[in-house]
Structure 1
Amino acid sequence: MTLPNWAREPLVHFLVAGIVIFTLLAWRGGDVDPASRTIEVDREQQAQIALVFERTMNRAPTDAELDAQIEAYVRDEILYREALRLGLDQGDAVVRRRMAQKMDILASSQAETVQPSEETLRVHYDANPQAFASDVRYTLDQLWFEDRKGAERALTYVETADDAFQLGQRISLPPSVDAMTSKELADRFGMQFAQNLDGLEPGENWQGPVGSGLGWHLVRLKVRDASKVPPFENVRSDVEDHWRTQTIARRKEEAFQLLRDSYKVTVKK
């Protein structure tokens, strides 16, 4: 098949790839055969399209709006298949990252909808009081690394190092904090770092790597004071949200580790 001149233009390819990247996750469901010229929008797919509209607009679509959304879905599906025919998904770092994100979503999708029992939530509440306390304070040491691999390597010998603080890379973060509140930690290290501390046990051992928006950290969490914890009944919805977030993160990591164990990875120097 000979493509028309306009279809060979790099700008056209770029626009098609952009449409694919930013609409595929919102509209598409299962796998597609790029060789097929048949597009069937069944009742389930129509319901998914209507649900996306409702979540975005906070109301159900009218018949005319649903028809327009279905036509938009068909347009995106056609462009997606044509992009696959042209091989635009090959060697594209953005597409590669999007597909990796979809695998993460698949790994954790069940945790997003499951309803935990009351007993499960109470066990989670008892195990994570710091997540629901009004004024948690942390005393800790931390070492910063730009990449996770560097932090993992340092963790293997940090306990025996003469001066552990010499192992971390330089950054404008304090190596130690004393009785700092979770809000102060989030302001200084980022919300991700403060939230990830919930998964650490206080003690004298180095733990990690702990992710943050700045990189990766090894942490020696000396004290976590969560003295003001409200009753379970007052924070039940917060407990469920925290349980779900932690469960999703754990299942993503477990699913990845299963896949990772099936690969042989060689990093050439």
Structure 2
Amino acid sequence: MNLRILVFFAIGLLIFFLDIGFNSEQSSKDIYISDQELTSLLSAWKSQVGRPPSDEEIVSIINNFVQEEILYREALLLELDQEDRIIKRRLAQKITFLKQETIPDDPSQEELENFFDLNKDNYFVPATYSFSHHYFSKESNAKERAAKAFNGYKTNGTEIIGDPFFLGKNFYQNSANEIKKNFGELFFSTIENLSLNEWSGPHESVFGQHIILLKEVQNGFSPPLEKVLIKVQQDYLSQAQDKAIDEYINEIRSQYRVIINPDYKF
């Protein structure tokens, strides 16, 4: 009697596990679209197009989603996700975004003040220079022509006429880096030592000779936090997100082992 019960129990257990197996296989073919996912699909469509989708467009959106899901599952069955560099990079980006989203986007005033104090140099506003110039191309006796034009101006008030310059004649509130980029280091070292509102020259640049009128110099300064608050908040959040990723990777790195061919020639 006990043996019969044991046999029936074993058969029942076998049927139970077979049922689980078949049902799990069947359930893998089910595509369930939650209300949240459907809302997300329709919202994404509306944000791209600028209006809610029509009934026909909703059908098309759902069909496209189902088709994508079917192709995705079939690709997984064929193990097409294995050893794919693009997929790995995309998944790495996705988990990075998830970790970054755990950082609250409303740091306190004290946190921002501390961050600002530690990174004040990043918000320093550099000095700027406003000037005009007459250009003499080095391809055609630049120094001699520039000197003659400047002497004529100083002696007789003759109008200075130079060559066309590809960046123009007048420059307003250019930083040191902008001037160095456009004219070279030598030109900037000249600019920062000129007197205001006096034509001077000739002065050399990488392009030739110049007669220069320095009009205005605005000294560099460190702005108060209130003037750069939005930028400071963005930088704070960016640094906090990067830190969160670094801490996450460092936390789980010990669980992984990296094996590299010792004979590989880098």
Question: Structure 1 length normalisation: TM-score?
Answer: 0.48
Larger Rg: 2
| TM-score for the superposition, normalised by structure 2 | 0.49
